[in-house]
Structure 1
């Protein structure tokens, strides 16, 4: 079996490549190494986590390049993690989200359909819940009030995948990730941003005056869920039950933002210099995953509390950024 991982140099992607290769799969990767954050981090991440995985440098909008890759590698399954991420950046550059998350996702759907891919697993986001759902977020709640353009593109991805499952019987599984963190994490997200700032004695901005809760989920738990989903394609139940499912992958234990900062302070051995700010446009006050569906379908059961996972992030930031 050959598994194509898009976004292979990304945070979740590199860990997923490592886990798949470790269990003996033939893994091929794709990444465009864009400049949303420093591409050198992505290259260093690959060198540290999955140096033996071949990663094609290719953009999702390059239809001809994607066709050549699919024809050459003939993937059996596709793990589609490549996307333009970030809630706040989507307010500044929505076109990047159209290109990657809509046009790029359409290209992936078409190639999976026409090249006989057995199962497409793709990244969605807890952001889809927006203003219409109440914690704990469950997959049967409405997702028709996204609070950011990024979230809107992820809602669209789920609808697009459902349509391909209905029309073409493409087996597809969407995964709604809840605030993933760990060593080699994205430098634009709070775990790394705050850890670096505290270590370096710089101030941090705490939005909504600290009155926020997040379902922080360690990358090891997320990758276990990704592999579980990949191994359990949805059944084709006929015309009224297309082979498409969506699952929450979260820690189902939301953490107060002030508690999250306190754990970083303890691991860093110094206090944070906090400036309190109002709520940012597009943000959600609370995220909390109901993970019962993922547990029933493939045994998903996260086990890493922030008291164990965040010190690892602080230690990685101390080592990596002091050397760069």
Structure 2
């Protein structure tokens, strides 16, 4: 069931999976509750935190009726996100990580874009920041972003997802006036606003990494158009302890390979060259190879994934294979530069 405020604002459900985030969670929650858009259902899903995160959630819920807290035993981020989706009543759905900061106008501007364009999803730009910038970013986000200078609406998001991901080509496309950056998707679900119907019948896989990558293709294939706002509305904390930047084991890379392979097949069915998904598989295999060289017990699993990647690439024609290989080389070089930048961010 969907609801609207007396002012006619559709209800927006914001889902925040939470695990051991006591140091940064109040900054995240303050940025959500301070939104210029008021009609919110804020779903805090405590995934069995061992610190004081659960108590923080309950304290905030006692002070703001828009907050609903779900406590569950630790089952991973996919299970937490699904619990939020199952409880969501909003016409629109958004996600936030428990240590990030939303711009004050995040929901307002994304909602306006959905309503005025008829898109299935709206998205905006984001920035990364280190712990030393936490106070500054919090203050800037509370001020609120300006209106976007443009809103770009594009169709066939599944094709955009697979083809627009190398930063070099995005910069070149923008230089040529093609608004290529507007068609770029990262692999996260934050800084987006979805029509709730997009998630009907779609849930994150539970008990695995790369749960957001695994559902990406299924979401984009059911969308007709997406609206992009060229304004920063989300602030992504670069924390050494996050899953994204922590040391990764074989299971992490195997799950990323599996997600890439699933999206590869889906794109192929739709006649779309799966360049991004090939890069996802290839980079996961590179990491698996290093770990398998140190532990022969992993060699069999690595071999299966490697054979699967070879078979999938062989299923493409020569031009599509060449495009996959080219984009892999370019993106791999960009990734090395990105990793050095993030490592130096404090």
TM-score, normalised by the number of residues in structure 1: 0.31
Greater gyration radius: 2
- Greater share of helix: 2
